[in-house]
Chains A and B, each alone.
Chain A
Amino acid sequence: MSDSTTSERSSRSYTRRQIVKGALGTGAVLGLSPLAAACGGGSSSSGSSGGAGGGSITIGSFSDPAMVPFRDVFLKKFTAETGIKVNYHETNYDAWFQNSKTDGLNKTGAYDIYVMDDNWVPEYAASGIVQSLDKLGLKVNPDILAKGLDQGYWPPKSGPRLQAFANDTPELFSLVIIDDVEILYYNKDYFPTAPVTWDDILNVAKTKSHPPSLYGWSPRGVAGNPIVQTYLPLLNSYGGNFANDDWSPGFAGPEGVGALERLFEFIPYMPSGIAAFDTSQETAVMLQGHCTAMTEYTGTAHVVDDPTQSKVVGKIDFAATPKQVKSGPAIGTFICGIASGAPNTAGAVKFLEWFTSSKVQKEFAGGGSAAVTGSALRDATLSAKYRWLPAIADAVDNSIPKPRTPDEPKMEDLLGTELNQALVQAISQKSGYTQIAQSHLTAAANQITAYLKQQGTYGF
């Protein structure tokens, strides 16, 4: 990339007004407003067609196994208790991301609540696709774990902020409904007590694993998001950051290099094809009893005791991800926002308050789901039945969020591509880990910095 181009791009910067106004422009360009409004049946932005005492609300979501109890049990329960009918539409993740965005930008009134991935919050909040829950008067249950709740604030309460929102007071734009967080899965046959540090995991890998029948660790290695999810708990635990407070990458220093070297140290004790491993391969190794430990999101916890899917029923236990300096699992919550064009905001607010209440969350955790309240996750009776629940609570408390920006997927892709290339190189070379880690992390850091400059919203 030439210097002139870089400076030309970096001279462009955007104010908050421009970003929000741009949203209106997109609606006009898409030319979908009239059509969408006709299909959706209205364009009210804050009216209450049903009211809290009746009517209906419409929830849209991406499909995910974690949403099944929410969809099949709790929506009916809400209707039974409040008289508010719930329409529920779900589609695949990518399609729902686009649909909800278009819907919100055009304020069609087709949906009241969007179920979102937490990394959508910056874009959805910054451009008014979802409404401020504070302004709608939503009462937050103080029992909700703080780190999970923080995912719904815009601008973020901590960490780097987009330049245009640097001085704004954080407002709650979305409310967490499922605390999905990375936890450590370990086989009790090889760990008499929960491993606390990465050294503990590596020691067991060195002494007890004998590939290919037993591996010491099973990670995700596919380029992009998967390998970043493997790397982040390591990076955070070594004291590094995905992004520093000034948006400079925080992984190319000694902490990040050390964390990646630690990943490479596991190479002799990991399956040989890990550079192509995603969740299904990674968990299959664990559930077949061929692995001593792995870090993964909570979605897999439900199946470890299912004899149809697991050969290690009752043997897997859970803990917060290991620390070196500190524990630092990545967090990725399922989170709900109220649509900018929601026809029944009162009903939507009521639903969110109801679902995140301590009583309902305890019932939600009663099926083994990753509830969001401390009382549900740390309930002694429930924890005895679903032993991953307290680990989720600990992991949420220790979690470190990814950078809160709409550019996070691109940053993740750039880092994830270099991490994957580094892993492939380390597997084939079997030595020179420091140099491999340093060169690839520096390359990723440079690419991310150049990209953020090009975007013009980061103040450099």
Chain B
Amino acid sequence: MAETAAPRKSREGWRGRFLASPYLLLIPAAIALAGVSIYPLFYGVRASVTHYLYGRDFGFNGLTNYRNVWHDEFFRQAMVTTAKYVVCAVTIETLLGLGLALLVSREIRFGGPIRVGLILPMTIAPVVVGVMWRLLYDSGVGVTDPLFQLFGASPPDVLAHDTSAFISVVLVDVWEWTPLIFLILLAGLQSLPQEPLEAARVDGAGRVRLFLDHTLPMLRPVLFVAITLRVIDAIGTFDQIYVLTKGGPGTATRLISIYAYNTAFLFTQYGQAAAMLIALLAMVMLLMIVAVRMMRKSLR
């Protein structure tokens, strides 16, 4: 009995170690992930419940930062502006991206160069995009005002008025990021199964019916991914708007990212800036959960 127990014990030990080894091997990756992803998030949450005065830490502050943020009318304004910006930009980008993808997905002459040309804007750094468009819009040296004057209209001074400045920053986003949606949808369109489409064609479906009843439903998951990616990205837009308008005129283009940046680095209110961004993160996550559920429901 004693002779057989020892080898069995040893075999069990080996088996245990063998079963544990994948988890052991995951430890370095888990530590790296915790270091670069979870710790900053934890630090952000911690900062949001800390009282900072003139950049200095005065300890735990409960939910005061969140309360201050809630009562801050500029934060609410920035949230509304961000929501308007995201809705306008992503809607236009989706419609344009879809249209372009449908156009280019068919074999056309010069299809390759056209595709390359269409994706060029998104390869440019957002700061450079901001500078470029600033030069175009500028009242002094830009091309917009002279163009209007050429046709006898008064110069619009696009960046000097609330509505035109807002439209102009949305346009810049559309110009830069429509290619991303175009690219994702083009890939989606080219990977759609052809059989259902051909069957519908044989049944006499026209182009519109084919698109509405077959292409669009099959493309919906890809469309959802594209829109989700763009919404998340558009909420965090900073560079080009900072270069173009710095959030002005007034607060017309002040997105939450710009307001949080100013709050942290100009006004040294780190706690409130962290609270703003954590609140925003919570809202985005909530939005995404709702969107995913709606998507699943519609797919069923």
Which residue numbers of A lie inside 8 Å of B, CB to CB?
1-2, 5, 9, 14, 18-19, 22-23, 25-26, 28-29, 94, 97-98, 101, 105, 123, 126-127, 221-224, 271-277, 281, 284-285, 406-407, 409-410, 413, 417, 420-421, 424, 427-428, 454-457
The stretch among B25-33, B53-61, B212-220 that forms the contact with chain A is: B53-61
**Complex CA–CA separation, A413 to B59 (angstroms):** 27
The stretch among B136-144, B171-179, B222-230, B280-288 that forms the contact with chain A is: B136-144
Partner among A19, A98, A413, A420 whose Cβ is within 8 Å of the Cβ of B262: A413
Partner among A271, A420, A456 whose Cβ is within 8 Å of the Cβ of B249: A420
Query: Are the C-beta atoms of A273 and B54 separated by less than 8 Å?
Result: no
Partner among B56, B157, B265 whose Cβ is within 8 Å of the Cβ of A127: B56
Contacting residues of chain B (143-192) with chain A, CB-CB under 8 angstroms: 145, 154-155, 157, 159-162, 165
**Complex CA–CA separation, A98 to B54 (angstroms):** 12
B99 on the A face (CB < 8 A):
no
Nearest residue (CB) in B for A22 is B56
**Complex CA–CA separation, A428 to B252 (angstroms):** 15
Query: Are the C-beta atoms of B140 and A420 separated by less than 8 Å?
Result: no
Query: Are the C-beta atoms of B53 and A276 separated by less than 8 Å?
Result: no
Query: Are the C-beta atoms of B267 and A18 separated by less than 8 Å?
Result: no
B123 on the A face (CB < 8 A):
no
Q: How far is the CB of B78 from chain A (nearest CB, A)?
A: 12
Which residue numbers of B lie inside 8 Å of A, CB to CB?
50, 52-59, 67-68, 71, 73-74, 138-141, 145, 154-155, 157, 159-162, 165, 245-251, 262, 265-269
Task: Kindly list 8 other residue pairs between chains A and B, CB separation below 8 angstroms, not including A222-B246, A276-B245.
Answer: A19-B54, A19-B56, A29-B57, A127-B54, A284-B140, A410-B266, A410-B267, A420-B250
Query: Are the C-beta atoms of B57 and A25 separated by less than 8 Å?
Result: yes
24 examples of A-B residue contacts, CB within 8 angstroms: A5-B71, A9-B68, A19-B53, A19-B54, A19-B56, A22-B53, A22-B57, A23-B56, A25-B57, A26-B52, A28-B57, A94-B265, A97-B265, A273-B138, A275-B157, A275-B160, A276-B249, A281-B138, A281-B140, A284-B140, A406-B54, A417-B251, A420-B248, A424-B160
Q: How far is the CB of A417 from chain B (nearest CB, A)?
A: 6
B67 CB contacts on chain A under 8 angstroms: 5
A455 CB contacts on chain B under 8 angstroms: 53
B53 CB contacts on chain A under 8 angstroms: 14, 19, 22, 455-457
Query: Are the C-beta atoms of B246 and A223 separated by less than 8 Å?
Result: yes
B249 CB contacts on chain A under 8 angstroms: 221-223, 275-276, 420-421, 424
Q: Given that A223-B249, A272-B157, A276-B157 are contacting pairs, would A407 and B267 also be in contact in the complex, using a CB cutoff of 8 Å?
A: yes
Which residue of A14, A428, A454, A456 has the most chain B CB atoms within 10 A of its CB atom? A454
Query: Are the C-beta atoms of A272 and B138 separated by less than 8 Å?
Result: no
Partner among B71, B155, B157, B248 whose Cβ is within 8 Å of the Cβ of A1: B71
**Complex CA–CA separation, A25 to B58 (angstroms):** 7
Query: Are the C-beta atoms of A221 and B265 separated by less than 8 Å?
Result: no
